[in-house]
Structure 1
Amino acid sequence: MASPILPGSGLGSGLDIGAIVTALVNADKSAKQTQIDAATKTNTLKISGVGSLKSALTAFQTAMNNLGNKTNPAFAGFTATSSKTDILTATSDSTAVAGNYSVVVNKLATGSKIASASFAGGAASAIPSGTLKISQNGTDYNVDIPANATLQTTRDAINKAQGANGISANIVTDSTGASRLVISSSKTGAGSDLSVSGIAGLEIDGTQLMGSSPAAGASGAVNGVAQNAELTIDGLAVTSKSNTVTGAVSGLTLNLVTVSPGTPPTPAIVGVEANTKGLQTSVQAFVDAYNTLKNTIDTLSKATPDEDGKLTVQAAFTGDALPRSMIADIRAQLTAPGAGGPLAVLSQLGVMTDRLTGNLTFDTAAFNKTMAQPGMTGQVQQLFTGTNDTNGLLARMSKAVDPYLKPMDSKSKGLLDQRLDSLIANTKTLTNQQLALDLRVANLTKTLTAKYNAMDLLVGQMKATANNITSFFASLNAQQSAK
């Protein structure tokens, strides 16, 4: 805060009152101002450091989640490919075995789709109130139909009540204006046919076909009843209630797209082979993600010399236990028990810790030596992705970061957000201290200025009196000399 305008040299004393007052005020505020400035600089640095640390942790956790993605797994021990991806695609897990399989898709699994009798009044047709019961594979799904319902509001009630169960409804209106309620299910496979009862006019037996030209009063299954998928694998017949076929071949999942064309149908060849090269790339990506985080934490923690190499410049978290605790929690997962198996530690894959920097190093020669042993690719996948959602190294590394980024419950915050709140509160405290100091400086300046101006006035008056006395005696002396 700027000081009030001060007078220059005193008219009476000739002293530089402004300079004197400024010097006295600066001497009074210097220690406190230095303290506030230093605390503000440190606090601002820490706020910036928290932001950088949160970004680094978020990037690290994102990298772990991406590497552990189940849809497109980076640590797949085996790769499965299909020669005809328009017919089917394939994925493999850590239990797969290298080989080739000839697959022919004869039928796709279908779900149940049924239609009611037609309503001449269209979507606005009145529907009696009551409980509409939709049955599927021995399970009943009830929908309450209120008074004054229409075909359209009945459709909406079904979607609202049973959408989570994979049951949906819509209305189809023909060229005459007559409408039918069409209900379908996302569940596939033989035996999953829908049936409807409980409301007059909406009784539907989904095991019966409507036919290609159904009469107005006809109801039933549309485009056939629900059926299983049928395929052959190396000539062996396989059925599946879903178009995602698992368990037919150990470690292999087949995703059926359409029926194999041709007579006889042309098979799709599914090949499974060890994914050594892909795993090496993924291990390197894991090492890089860890080292990036470690280097960021080091930068935010270690003091560095200034440009002249004489003074030490503090980093945001120099001397702070938080980063050390964080990297210790993350690093502990590198050696913690996981999913088990022949591969227990990263050193078996050539991943070691540099003694000087603490970063991870990756010896690809050691990795390839391990991969030369039978079955090792699947073990690498198990080490990193685990046998469930929690015991893989990637999941454990990601979870180790959670306390720093996420709240433990709805009433708390993550550790970094807690630290940020504390720093923001400290900023307000320092701002208030600066305002208080500025007010003190202003008051002190005003007080000292008034005192020195009063002194200057008194000195001026005394000088005037002295000058008068001097002039009087000088005049008296002159008169005496003239006699």
Structure 2
Amino acid sequence: MAGTTVSGIGSGIDTQAIVKSLVDAQRAPKQAQINTQTLKATTTLSSIGKIQAALDAFRGALTSMTTGNSFGGLALKSSDEKVATITAGAGAANGTFRLEVGQLASASKVSTKVYAGGATSVVNPGTSTTTLSITQNGKAHDVSIPAGATLQDVRESINSQFGTAGFSANILTDASGSRLVITSTKMGVGSDITLGGNSGIDTGYTVVDPPKNAEYKLDGIAMTSKSNDITDAVSGLNIKLVGTSPKDSKDNVIETTLSLTTSATALKSGLKGFIDTYNALLKVVNEETRVTKNADGTVTAAALTGDASMRALMTSIREEMNALSGNGTMKSLAAFGVTTAQDGGALSLDDKKWDKAAATNAADLTSIFNGKNGLIARLQNVTEPFAKAATGTLAERSKTLSESLTKLKSEQDTLDTRMEALQKSLQDKYNNMDSLVTQLRQQQNNVLGTLNALNNAKSDK
């Protein structure tokens, strides 16, 4: 704290030390209070932030388990991946399907006339800008062709302007010259590309490939699709058509078998992933709420030791995990070998108990986790009040702690200002006192000088 140095020249007293002692004594109680509250708010805010991050990661993992169908417990197989591959989505179930692919879906492709001068051929020899219109599904995409533009310029304009709309342009060159080939990513009948405008590029264009629908059969039922990615033919099954079905020596179509079967291995992997996800959250909570015993026998509490919100959060999670659920014979995680450590509460999987349960009831684990009343959905629901970004319990506490730190900063500034004023006031008082003492000593010296002079005069007579 800045201030004038008081040395007590006149009085011989160390007034600087006195002022400092008085100011420190005045500051100490309030400063200690501010320091204690600031430290507590800062460490608590940091801990809340760690818990928030861990909880967000936990909830994100639960969402991934749902979208990734971690507890579908299905092994998927295509007997011929050159014809089709499959992935499972929400609602996938055991089943086997026979697939025949007669035709893949394809996109529209058109070609301009040949330009003998190659890719550098000038396609707009005029002095004004012209337009090439690429139309698909009734929507026109206009490409400006400036004066002097080449075939290569047009290609680059199409790709830069309409690449995100699904169009791509390339130049094919042979002995006769170059032509611009325009293709669409949209497939299926009705997605034809047509060219128009006043650029002249559209004149004489030809259709290289008309758009086609995929044609296939599932269990003998004829179907069509505008895409080779089929998501609505079988509930929960995504089929990607890769090629047409081969034929045998007698020209008979060889069917591809698509199978979905319950896999204990896949379910075990999903369960271990869940255990790891829960333990990661638990580890952070334990670190921020634990009590540490020191070497001298004393204990040190963490920032959130005994915190009611943390107890409520973990109690809510544990209650859902311990609840019976599902529609199978086995309705608990414990039945599948999930155990809880007495020290810390971390989960682990008893492999022997899992193997025994999975041998006969592996599918029961799917019903425990999945569905609107499954464990994943319930855990999402009970943690949401704590995790909401702006209005959740943790967010509200972070907001309150931040406001407290702001208030404490203001109190610190006020205290500093008050102490500076007190120091100045005391310095002024001690300076005045020192000046007064100097004056009194001067007067004393004057009086003593006068008395000595009188005594000397008497002695001379």
TM-score, normalised with respect to structure 2 = 0.71
TM alignment of 1:423-442, pairs within 5 A: 423-442=401-420
1:405 CA drift (Å): 4.6
TM alignment of 1:400-439, pairs within 5 A: 400-407=382-389, 415-439=393-417
Q: Residues 292, 178 of structure 1: CA spacing in aligned structure 2 closer, same or farther, 3 A cutoff? A: closer
Q: Residues 480, 225 of structure 1: CA spacing in aligned structure 2 closer, same or farther, 3 A cutoff? A: closer
Q: Does the residue aligned with 2:104 lie in a helix, a strand or coil?
A: coil
- Which residue matches 2:149? none
C-alpha distance in structure 2 between counterparts of 1:473 and 1:195, whole Å: 125
C-alpha distance in structure 2 between counterparts of 1:292 and 1:354, whole Å: 14
Q: Residues 3, 304 of structure 1: CA spacing in aligned structure 2 closer, same or farther, 3 A cutoff? A: farther
1:14 CA drift (Å): 2.2
Counterpart among 8, 12, 22 of residue 14 in structure 1? 12
Whether the aligned pair in 2 keeps the contact of 1:78 and 1:98 (CA below 8 Å) is no
- Which residue matches 1:383? 368
Counterpart among 383, 386, 393 of residue 375 in structure 2? 393
C-alpha distance in structure 2 between counterparts of 1:108 and 1:392, whole Å: 41
Whether the aligned pair in 1 keeps the contact of 2:108 and 2:187 (CA below 8 Å) is no
Whether the aligned pair in 1 keeps the contact of 2:83 and 2:101 (CA below 8 Å) is no
- Which residue matches 1:300? 288
Question: C-alpha offsets along residues 171-196 of structure 1, whole Å, 9 cap, x if unaligned?
Answer: 888878897896756354xx667598
Counterpart among 338, 341, 348 of residue 335 in structure 2? 348
Say whether residues 1:31 and 2:17 are aligned partners: no
Q: Residues 359, 311 of structure 1: CA spacing in aligned structure 2 closer, same or farther, 3 A cutoff? A: closer
1:355 CA drift (Å): 6.1
Tell me the amino acid that sits aligned with residue 368 of structure 1: D
C-alpha distance in structure 1 between counterparts of 2:428 and 2:236, whole Å: 92
Say whether residues 1:78 and 2:60 are aligned partners: no
C-alpha distance in structure 2 between counterparts of 1:460 and 1:169, whole Å: 97
Residues paired across the two proteins, number: 443
Tell me the amino acid that sits aligned with residue 186 of structure 1: K
Tell me the amino acid that sits aligned with residue 369 of structure 1: K
Q: Residues 184, 394 of structure 1: CA spacing in aligned structure 2 closer, same or farther, 3 A cutoff? A: same
C-alpha distance in structure 2 between counterparts of 1:372 and 1:66, whole Å: 27
C-alpha distance in structure 2 between counterparts of 1:430 and 1:88, whole Å: 66
C-alpha distance in structure 1 between counterparts of 2:370 and 2:92, whole Å: 13
Q: Does the residue aligned with 1:90 lie in a helix, a strand or coil?
A: strand
TM alignment of 1:62-101, pairs within 5 A: 62-70=60-68, 73-82=69-78, 84-91=80-87, 96-97=93-94
Q: Residues 444, 197 of structure 1: CA spacing in aligned structure 2 closer, same or farther, 3 A cutoff? A: closer
C-alpha distance in structure 2 between counterparts of 1:457 and 1:50, whole Å: 58
Q: Does the residue aligned with 1:81 lie in a helix, a strand or coil?
A: strand
Say whether residues 1:259 and 2:244 are aligned partners: yes
1:23 CA drift (Å): 0.9
Q: Residues 480, 186 of structure 1: CA spacing in aligned structure 2 closer, same or farther, 3 A cutoff? A: same
- Which residue matches 1:213? none
Counterpart among 75, 83, 102 of residue 107 in structure 1? 102
Q: Residues 237, 421 of structure 1: CA spacing in aligned structure 2 closer, same or farther, 3 A cutoff? A: closer
Question: C-alpha offsets along residues 190-230 of structure 1, whole Å, 9 cap, x if unaligned?
Answer: x6675989999xxxxxxxxxxxxxxx8686682x6624444
Say whether residues 1:465 and 2:443 are aligned partners: yes
Tell me the amino acid that sits aligned with residue 301 of structure 1: T
Please say which of residues 288-297 and 303-312 is displaced more in the overlay.
303-312
Q: Residues 316, 177 of structure 1: CA spacing in aligned structure 2 closer, same or farther, 3 A cutoff? A: farther
C-alpha distance in structure 2 between counterparts of 1:246 and 1:478, whole Å: 127
C-alpha distance in structure 2 between counterparts of 1:244 and 1:147, whole Å: 34
1:27 CA drift (Å): 1.0
Extract unaligned runs of 5+ from structure 1.
Answer: 135-139, 201-215
Whether the aligned pair in 1 keeps the contact of 2:104 and 2:213 (CA below 8 Å) is yes
- Which residue matches 2:310? 323
Tell me the amino acid that sits aligned with residue 81 of structure 1: K
1:257 CA drift (Å): 1.9
C-alpha distance in structure 2 between counterparts of 1:455 and 1:311, whole Å: 52
TM alignment of 1:62-461, pairs within 5 A: 62-70=60-68, 73-82=69-78, 84-91=80-87, 96-97=93-94, 106-111=101-106, 113=108, 115=110, 184=184, 186-188=186-188, 222=209, 226-230=212-216, 241=225, 243-244=228-229, 254-260=239-245, 263-264=248-249, 273-304=261-292, 308-310=296-298, 312-313=300-301, 315-318=302-305, 320-334=307-321, 340-353=327-340, 357-374=344-361, 376-377=362-363, 379-386=364-371, 390-398=372-380, 400-407=382-389, 415-461=393-439
Q: Does the residue aligned with 1:29 lie in a helix, a strand or coil?
A: helix
C-alpha distance in structure 2 between counterparts of 1:401 and 1:160, whole Å: 45
Whether the aligned pair in 2 keeps the contact of 1:238 and 1:248 (CA below 8 Å) is no
Q: Does the residue aligned with 2:321 lie in a helix, a strand or coil?
A: coil
Extract unaligned runs of 5+ from structure 2.
Answer: 116-120, 146-152
Percent identity (aligned): 27
1:20 CA drift (Å): 0.9
Please say which of residues 20-29 and 61-70 is displaced more in the overlay.
61-70
Question: C-alpha offsets along residues 438-474 of structure 1, whole Å, 9 cap, x if unaligned?
Answer: 2222221121112112212222333343445455556
Q: Residues 192, 324 of structure 1: CA spacing in aligned structure 2 closer, same or farther, 3 A cutoff? A: farther
Question: C-alpha offsets along residues 41-61 of structure 1, whole Å, 9 cap, x if unaligned?
Answer: 122213322332232123223
Question: C-alpha offsets along residues 271-306 of structure 1, whole Å, 9 cap, x if unaligned?
Answer: 655422332232122122212212312322345456
Whether the aligned pair in 2 keeps the contact of 1:403 and 1:414 (CA below 8 Å) is yes
- Which residue matches 2:150? none
Tell me the amino acid that sits aligned with residue 356 of structure 2: K
The two structures, once aligned, show a CA RMSD in angstroms of 5.1
